Structure 1
Amino acid sequence: MVTEITEGVRVTVETEYQPEYSDPSQSHYVFTYQVAIENNSNFTVKLLRRHWEVIDAGYPQRDVEGEGVIGKQPTLEPQQQHQYVSGCNLKSGIGKMKGTFLMERITDGKQFRAVIPEFTLIAPYRVN
């Protein structure tokens, strides 16, 4: 588990390799990651956009950008949390991801980028 705090918004990520959906003989490795976004600021904030950098060892970096997360743009009051699970597939079985969420404070419209901490994606047998 990794955590980063930006302007009172805490982003925590946990990952898990999914062997039942992976096929190493076909260079197909599937991972899930659970993201928790916790608003520890004094302001109500809304998640507008996401930007991910996906690094797959030996392959070009992929950038993923779009509105919200899994089809939602959650608004978080102070001390509220939003969690979701998503996934990523790699060809090498070894990689990492990081990124940002574009957040907006509701009271004054100030936007800022909450950092999504870098996390690794490693198929367990690749560790040896």
Structure 2
Amino acid sequence: MFQQITKGIKVSVKTVYNGIIYRGYVQHYAFSYFISIKNNSKETVQLLERFWTIYDSLNEIESVHGEGVVGQTPIIKPNEEYNYRSNCFLISSVGSMKGSYKMINLKNNKEFLAEVPTFQLITTPTLN
């Protein structure tokens, strides 16, 4: 598990390799990542936006930016945790992701970035 804490917001990531899928005639390696966002601060925060950088060893670096996560902009009170699952598809069997969440402290309306640690996306090794 990969973890990072920014301003009392602890982001933890776990990844799972799901196998090979085809999009059209192109083979992709499918990964799921499970994110846990724990508010260890004393203030209520809201996740507004996400920023991802996706590294695929056989493809160009991809940047993703958008509102919320999985269609939500969750409000996370002190000592509460928000969890979600999402997916990533790579052309190669090895890659990584890193990113950040734009958060807002709902008490003082100050925005800040909660960092998501770099996490690996690696297929299950094959032995023969």
* TM-score after normalising by structure 1: 0.93
Q: CA deviation at 1:58?
A: 2.7
The runs of 5 or more residues in structure 1 that have no matched partner are none
Counterpart-to-counterpart distance in 2, 1:126 and 1:27: 17
For this pair of structures, how many residues does the alignment match? 126
Residues 1:53 and 2:39 aligned together:
no
Unaligned runs of 5+ in 2: none
Residue pair 1:27, 1:93 contacting (<8 A) in 2 also: no
Distance 1:10 1:126 in 2: 34
2:108 aligned with 1:91: no
Following the alignment from structure 1 to structure 2, what is the Cα–Cα distance between the partners of residues 126 and 110? Answer: 48
Calculate percent identity across the aligned residue pairs.
Answer: 38
**Residues of 2 paired with 1:115 and 1:3: CA distance?**
9
Report the residue type matching 1:111 in the other structure: E
Q: List aligned pairs for 1:1-128, cutoff 5 A.
A: 1-19=1-19, 21-22=20-21, 26-125=26-125
Q: Please identify runs of 4+ aligned residues in structure 1 that moved more than 3 A.
A: none
> What is the CA RMSD across the aligned residues, in angstroms?
1.8
More strand by share: 2
Which structure: greater helix fraction?
Answer: 1
Query: Could you say what secondary structure the match of 1:22 adopts?
Result: strand
Q: How far apart, CA to CA, are the structure 1 residues paired with 2:62 and 2:44?
A: 32
